[in-house]
Amino acid sequence: MTDNTVNNFRIGVDVGGTKIEAALVDATGAVLNSARIPARHGNAAVVEDIVSVARQAAGTRFDEVSAIGIGTPGTVDSATGHVGNIVNLDVVSLDMGPEVSRLAGVPVHVENDVNAAAVGAAVLLGGADGLDGTIAFLNFGTGLAAGIVQNGVLLHGYSGAAGEIGHIPVEPHRLKCPCGQYGCLETVCSGAAVGRLWPNADPPMPDLIRCASRREAKAVDVLDMVVRAIGDTIQILAQSVDPRLIVLGGGMAKTGEPLVEVITAELRRRESQCRFLESLDLPARLRLAPAGQPVGAIGAAMAA
């Protein structure tokens, strides 16, 4: 008898500035195996490394893989698989999807890394079909951006800029942003920005919160600046797309519950002055990204 079973295995690849991680997942998003390698620079090296780590993750099951999904920084055209300006990997322009598909011999889908993480968070919190309603993944990494999933479907917007909340120029200190504007939210409350504002420790956010809790004047000032910008970010996101959950991710979110606590305090402060905000109950919508899981790789696989 011929086995006509459809292959349900997918590989998700999470491209980072220093590492590339891959996960073999089943139809439910459960991770069956994973692999990680250091990232190399340049177009050819990036493509070769994606295929290599994908094969490592799949092992003997590579022939059973139906698709590869990739989550990557840079400017991503998810329709064509083209990626531009992966600054940390010296990639200016790369047909990532077609090139990886050519070498791997399977269909490839490419997403922005934050969008992929949003899908991964929705799957991990709600199963293979994700969660009903709108889920926002707010990524505090080198930059600041949100991925938005609505009933399991990623929202890209007309030009793919949906969720680029970090470049809304409303932060009152008017710091210069690499994008060319002044006062972008990510100039104050991205992970990289907190590192610049509080260069005394690595990682900076847990130390900043500890020092502020001891009422050290400089730490209190910096934390107030950062948390007010986070509050603005969450409020803009909530009032724009009204998500069921706002999942906090990225390197800064590894601070864990202390970060949630200072954000909650800021949101409650705002609620105390505004019945409208009180009715939204934003603190109740906050979640930390699931720890110990390759969220980006899972999401890339499930989006493929």
- Within this chain, do residues 84 and 168 fall inside the same structural domain, yes or no? no
Q: Are residues 86 and 139 in the same domain?
A: no
Burial-class residue 223 by CB neighbours within 10 Å (0-12, 13-18, 19+). Answer: buried
- The yes-or-no verdict on residue 269 having pLDDT over 60 is yes
| 20 and 140 co-located in one domain | no
Q: What is the pLDDT of residue 1?
A: 35
- Using one digit for the tens of pLDDT, what is the confidence trace for 151-198? 889 999 988 889 999 999 999 999 999 899 999 999 999 999 999 999
For the entire predicted model, the pTM comes to 0.91
Residue 21 sits in the same domain as residue 153: no
Residue 139 in domain: yes
CB atoms near residue 248 (< 10 Å): 24
Across the chain, what does the average pLDDT equal? 94
Buried b / exposed e over 126-137, threshold 16 CB at 10 Å, is beeebbeebbbb
Cα–Cα–Cα angle for 133, 139, 141, rounded to 5 degrees: 170
Same domain, yes or no, for 108 and 145? no
pLDDT of residue 129: 67
**Residue 38 sits in the same domain as residue 88:** yes
Same domain, 48 and 185: no
**237: domain CATH number?**
3.30.420.40
Q: Are residues 48 and 113 in the same domain?
A: yes
The residue with greater pLDDT, 77 or 132, is 77
Structural domain includes residue 23: yes
One domain for residues 191 and 278: yes
- Tell me if 127 is assigned to some domain: no
**Is the confidence at residue 49, as pLDDT, over 60?**
yes
- If asked whether residues 283 and 148 sit together in one domain, one would say yes
Range of the domain at 91: 9-117+293-303
User: How many domains in the chain?
Assistant: 2
